[in-house]
Structure 1
Amino acid sequence: MPLLKRLLAWFQPDTSRPLTQAWLAALWMGLLANWPLWKQLQALPEISGARGALFIVAFAGMVTAASGALLSLLAWPRLIQGLLVVLLLASAALAHFIGSYGIVFDPTMVVNMLQTDARETRDLLSWRLLVSLVLLGALPAWWLLRRPRAPAQAFAKRLVGNLAACGLALVAMVLLALAVFADLSSTMRNYKTIRYMVTPLNAVYSVSSVALRRQAAPSGPPAVIGADARLLPRAEGAKSPLLLFVVGETARAMNFSLNGYARPTNPELAKLPVVSLRQVASCGTATAASLPCMFSPLGRTAFGDLKGTQENLLDVLQRAGLAVLWLDNQSGCKGLCDRVPNSPTSRLPEGAAPLPPGLCSKDEMGEEECFDESLLHELDKRIAALDPERVQRGLVLVMHQMGSHGPAYFKRSPADLKPFQPECKSNALQQCERQQVVNAYDNTLVTTDRLLARSIAWLQTQQARFDTGMLYVSDHGESLGENGLYLHGMPYAMAPAEQTHVPMVLWVPEGGGVAASLKPGCLQSLRDKPASHDNLFHTVMGWVGARADVYKPEWDLLASCRS
């Protein structure tokens, strides 16, 4: 009879015990919340037939055992239920986003998520997300919270039980790994993104990694760079520089018709004397990673190793004596513009006319979103509000676009600028035909094209006073369903070219001081030369005639063209 009772206990566990709750949650999350992972593994060509099915079963056992081992250590009465509710809801959300968009959840994605504003978050909300949260998260959490309180147990006895469960789980995980070691090592080596699809371990690792990194970062203001920043002397009668630096969002180079794309996504720029660089690599695959790196003198590799924070291009330009203004139509400048004049498009200078009707609209939550053309509104008044002495020396104006931010691409282009139809009018991209997704995305590029053309037209009105020019570059690219991937944010080493190959466009007007300093035809020779975000800091410094000890002429794209 005692033996029979023990056997029955395996099938009727005491669900009031924290350790039992931990393992039931580990089974639920390991097997059900990882459905995108099992779907991904099943689609791999190396994993097929009976052997492939055996590997997936063994891998599922390993995931469950690893989750159970971790949760066993945390299976304490006052801790486990609250922790499991959070993990269940997080796992349900991750299952939706990984399954819908093919993204992975790594530390970079955590940083990007923390810096996402309410407007961007709303674009990700859908009924499918709600269903996933309810079925995979809320229902098991509700069941869990209805369990009776666990009977009192001595601390030592509970600790021994938790450690024993953790140890057995680790042994089971090792045995399963050894049983399918050949397939496991090959899969993890060839498909490195899989490790960031294992829910909830991906969330635990990534959030912990970001928290530890921030804790270890030195406190205090950013480190000073370019303390010797200065302006080079200009010839008598030479005009002060006015550089418009447009920071694009989510534009990928391969969809720019200037770069050979078959569709006319750059109809207005094609009529202008611009130079499009076709081989430009981004610094990251998400705004939170790329934007700070773009404005750093270090380059992608050294910036990734940077401990703490340091000043950026805007600080150095301002220290050199130039006027700097950041205009934002996105989720902020990620701290880059904190020490220079900055403004969102919605905050107009004193005496400015209101934004024209149709340029902005309110969503269902009452929040206002404006098209990027609002960045050009009342620019003269914005410049007039800056320090006139600095403006007289020169001005660098940075415009941060909303650009092609997804997944609601259809919101990023006005009704009169949607040449590619039909377009996907949903944020659930996987539910649209892929061509509709591409149509909606390409319409955003046509919108950016018009912004850049009108920006050049405005710059031409300033040529009596300034030596003008424009530099446009996107922060990262975008996946549009290739290989089942949507959006962006993949770990850089594993990211497809769609997410790292970005457009860069230069406008250097003939007759200006910059054009006169360049060898004839040299700009055109830059079209197919490899470039990256590493070049931006130094190219801007060289363009406006600023110098500092951090300036590297070999990283200045225009240096080789100067006479």
Structure 2
Amino acid sequence: MLDLIKRLPSLKVTTNNKHVYFHCSANVFIVVLACYYCLVINIPFIEGAFTAITALNSFSWLFLLSVPLLLMCLLVLFFSLLSTRWLLKPAAYILLVISSAALYGSVNYGVVFDYSMIQNTFETDGKEAMSYLNPQLIGFLMLFCAIPLFVLNKVKINFNRPHQELLSRSKLVAGCLVLIALVVVNFYADYAATGRNNRILKKELIPFQYLTSSYKYIRDQWLYKDMPFKQLDTNPLLVKPSQTRVTVIMVGETARAENFSYQGYPRNTNQYTQPLGVHYFNNVASCGTATAVSVPCMFSAQPQVAFSRRDTDNQQNILDLAQSAGADVLWIDNNSGCKEVCNRVTTINNEAIKTPNNAAFCQQAHCYDEALIAPLRRKLANLSHANTVIVLHMMGSHGPTYFQRYPEQFKQFTPTCDRSDIQNCSSTQLTNTYDNTIAYSDYVNSLAIAQLNALPDNIEKSFLYISDHGESLGENGAYLHGFPYSFAPSGQTHVPLYIWADHTNQGITNTCIAQANPTQSLSHDNIFHTLVNLIGINTLTYQQNLDVLAHCQPITQLKHHSEVIL
């Protein structure tokens, strides 16, 4: 076999202390690497492209076959840019590791690594990342990463003199450009039509998509100059500063509306809050499909169409305005952080909630969400301000380890999927496990409302629950979340929202909330302005038409805060 390999052009084999090394020119290395990326790493893209093309009423087989040819030429051009003596092989090592991980995500979960997914990846924590570790991932990386890396380590690239390499590479690049030109001339209309109707395809290209998205994220977060902090209102005021008021905001995680009883789901996943009379809104859209986008967006005055994480991080949000107006604001986290939202208010992070009192809920990497109730109870027992705002950030239904989100006694629906490689569970098992997380979150919400209900009648109290985004549970081969918003299924963008207020309140009561239209079209854009009213802030940023509760207690937007009637 070695004799046969040695006869191949541009490829030589040597042995050194019983180690076999393959010698080849840089051009051969680039072409072989491009072929591997084209035919193996980009399997999801090739499969998607072939499916889209063959679904057409009429198509050309030449057009179909031109797709891998065009992709291979583009990959050759890309690797040619890296083809210097000291860069080509190290870059090949690094890209192979990252691309193999991206391929795993694409094949098993259907995810694409656009800007929001890269942002989610950069901003996740180690515990969340480890939840994806499973035997299938290890086996996959052994096959598509470890073995190719071993082969790559056995390759010795023979570089010629600089001018010879430049001439040789120029010929290779020129040949690829000619092939690309031939494809474009003959099939431009076909590519244009297919691209318009299947825009997600280009987001599946590895490594182009994740490299482009990573560059944009790094540019936005680290390369731009620091922005000055923008105050949206320099003098927000509490409408009734002497009135004792407590507002609890529960930020759900990965809860999709389709699995809520309130939404018409046949299973009883809201049995704990239903007796409490919460008012549910069944037509609510999220701002994004990942926590890193949706959480900053829902607390921001920026609408989704103009949302910029960079701008939002550098201006007042609803918590800043509440604190500036004189409210006591506290963020309690059982997730991977507040995504910069709570930077300027008092925070209890997910490590700080691991107290002896919560030992029963914190026996794993993440605490169960019941661990949020103890710090909530302590805060309510020691109210230091007339107006208090408390945000509880749940772990909720975050995957893929759904089975770790609820205690054993809340395993209501069985059989369950007690593993992280959820694509290998049956649809029934996966749905059961996910539904258990929804039911448990509902239980935690009922505990939070019970804490508010226990407060004296002279305290105004209200509760708002909203999820950051939804989740895919294997529909059409899609799992988890973080898909590009324009392509995301409704399961990832349709989120639950419900509000509760005490019937003894002077302003916003549960009776008044019940008069709101439950089917009105809402989104995360409404949360900021609804919270302005719920908390009771007079601010120039308020837009009454976006306030879900404006019919209960409209806040007049005044040009001069001195005109506020206290």
1:496 is aligned, of 455, 464, 489, to: 489
1:26 equivalenced with 2:44 (yes/no): no
Q: Which residue of 2 aligns with 1:377?
A: 374
SS of the residue 1:32 aligns to: helix
After TM superposition, the structure 1 = structure 2 runs for residues 217-232 of structure 1, keeping only pairs within 5 Å, are: 217-219=224-226, 222-232=229-239
Letter of the 1:255 counterpart: N
Q: Kindly provide the CA deviation profile for residues 200-225 of structure 1, in whole angstroms up to 9, marking residues without a partner as x.
A: 11122211222233355331563333
Q: Distance in 2 between matches of 1:179 and 1:480?
A: 41
SS of the residue 1:558 aligns to: coil
Q: Which residue of 2 aligns with 1:326?
A: 331
1:547 equivalenced with 2:538 (yes/no): yes
After TM superposition, the structure 1 = structure 2 runs for residues 136-151 of structure 1, keeping only pairs within 5 Å, are: 136-148=144-156, 150-151=158-159
Q: Which residue of 1 aligns with 2:289?
A: 285
1:355 equivalenced with 2:358 (yes/no): yes
After TM superposition, the structure 1 = structure 2 runs for residues 114-129 of structure 1, keeping only pairs within 5 Å, are: 114-129=122-137
1:210 equivalenced with 2:249 (yes/no): no
Structure 2 vs 1, CA of residues 15 and 198 (structure 1 numbering), >3 Å: closer, same or farther?
Answer: farther
Q: Contact 1:328–1:399 (CA<8 Å) still a contact in 2?
A: yes
Aligned length: 539
Q: Contact 1:42–1:48 (CA<8 Å) still a contact in 2?
A: no
Q: Distance in 1 between matches of 2:347 and 2:443?
A: 24
Q: Contact 2:333–2:392 (CA<8 Å) still a contact in 1?
A: yes
1:103 is aligned, of 111, 116, 120, to: 111
Residue 39 of structure 1 and its aligned partner are, at CA, apart by 3.2
Moved more, 431-440 or 201-210: 201-210
Q: Kindly provide the CA deviation profile for residues 471-528 of structure 1, in whole angstroms up to 9, marking residues without a partner as x.
A: 0000001111111111111111111111111000100121212335x9x656333211
Letter of the 1:540 counterpart: L
1:311 is aligned, of 303, 310, 316, to: 316
SS of the residue 1:458 aligns to: helix
Q: Kindly provide the CA deviation profile for residues 244-298 of structure 1, in whole angstroms up to 9, marking residues without a partner as x.
A: 0000000011111011111111011121211000010100000111111111101
Q: Contact 1:38–1:56 (CA<8 Å) still a contact in 2?
A: no
SS of the residue 1:396 aligns to: strand
After TM superposition, the structure 1 = structure 2 runs for residues 61-460 of structure 1, keeping only pairs within 5 Å, are: 61-148=69-156, 150-154=158-162, 156-215=163-222, 217-219=224-226, 222-233=229-240, 239-304=243-308, 307=311, 309-348=314-353, 354-357=357-360, 359-362=361-364, 368-382=365-379, 391-460=384-453
Q: Distance in 2 between matches of 1:287 and 1:540?
A: 19
Q: Contact 2:416–2:433 (CA<8 Å) still a contact in 1?
A: yes
Residue 120 of structure 1 and its aligned partner are, at CA, apart by 1.1
Q: Contact 2:159–2:165 (CA<8 Å) still a contact in 1?
A: no
SS of the residue 1:244 aligns to: strand
Letter of the 1:262 counterpart: P
Residue 552 of structure 1 and its aligned partner are, at CA, apart by 1.7
Q: Kindly provide the CA deviation profile for residues 106-149 of structure 1, in whole angstroms up to 9, marking residues without a partner as x.
A: 11111000011111111111222222222222222222233235
1:505 is aligned, of 479, 483, 498, to: 498
Letter of the 2:369 counterpart: D
SS of the residue 1:404 aligns to: coil
Q: Distance in 2 between matches of 1:173 and 1:121?
A: 39
Q: Contact 2:11–2:25 (CA<8 Å) still a contact in 1?
A: no
Q: Distance in 1 between matches of 2:315 and 2:73?
A: 42
Residue 9 of structure 1 and its aligned partner are, at CA, apart by 2.9
Structure 2 vs 1, CA of residues 426 and 174 (structure 1 numbering), >3 Å: closer, same or farther?
Answer: farther
Structure 2 vs 1, CA of residues 521 and 241 (structure 1 numbering), >3 Å: closer, same or farther?
Answer: closer
Q: Distance in 2 between matches of 1:353 and 1:148?
A: 58
SS of the residue 1:243 aligns to: strand
Q: Distance in 2 between matches of 1:11 and 1:55?
A: 32
Letter of the 2:112 counterpart: V
Structure 2 vs 1, CA of residues 110 and 555 (structure 1 numbering), >3 Å: closer, same or farther?
Answer: same
TM-score (normalised: structure 2): 0.89
CA RMSD of aligned residues (A): 2.6
Residue 316 of structure 1 and its aligned partner are, at CA, apart by 1.2
Structure 2 vs 1, CA of residues 88 and 11 (structure 1 numbering), >3 Å: closer, same or farther?
Answer: same
Structure 2 vs 1, CA of residues 266 and 137 (structure 1 numbering), >3 Å: closer, same or farther?
Answer: same
SS of the residue 1:524 aligns to: coil
Q: Distance in 1 between matches of 2:499 and 2:505?
A: 14
Residue 27 of structure 1 and its aligned partner are, at CA, apart by 1.1
Structure 1 stretches lacking a partner, 5+ long: 1-6, 363-367
SS of the residue 1:9 aligns to: coil
SS of the residue 1:560 aligns to: coil
Q: Contact 1:472–1:505 (CA<8 Å) still a contact in 2?
A: yes
Letter of the 2:328 counterpart: A
Residue 49 of structure 1 and its aligned partner are, at CA, apart by 10
Q: Which residue of 1 aligns with 2:4?
A: none
Q: Distance in 2 between matches of 1:162 and 1:466?
A: 76
Structure 2 stretches lacking a partner, 5+ long: 1-6, 14-21, 555-566
SS of the residue 2:77 aligns to: helix
Residue 10 of structure 1 and its aligned partner are, at CA, apart by 6.4
SS of the residue 1:471 aligns to: strand
Q: Contact 1:241–1:544 (CA<8 Å) still a contact in 2?
A: yes
SS of the residue 2:443 aligns to: helix
SS of the residue 1:192 aligns to: coil
Q: Contact 1:58–1:177 (CA<8 Å) still a contact in 2?
A: no
Q: Contact 1:323–1:394 (CA<8 Å) still a contact in 2?
A: yes
Q: Distance in 1 between matches of 2:320 and 2:26?
A: 53
Moved more, 442-451 or 185-194: 185-194
Letter of the 2:200 counterpart: T
Structure 2 vs 1, CA of residues 556 and 527 (structure 1 numbering), >3 Å: closer, same or farther?
Answer: same
SS of the residue 1:251 aligns to: coil
SS of the residue 1:542 aligns to: helix
Letter of the 1:314 counterpart: L
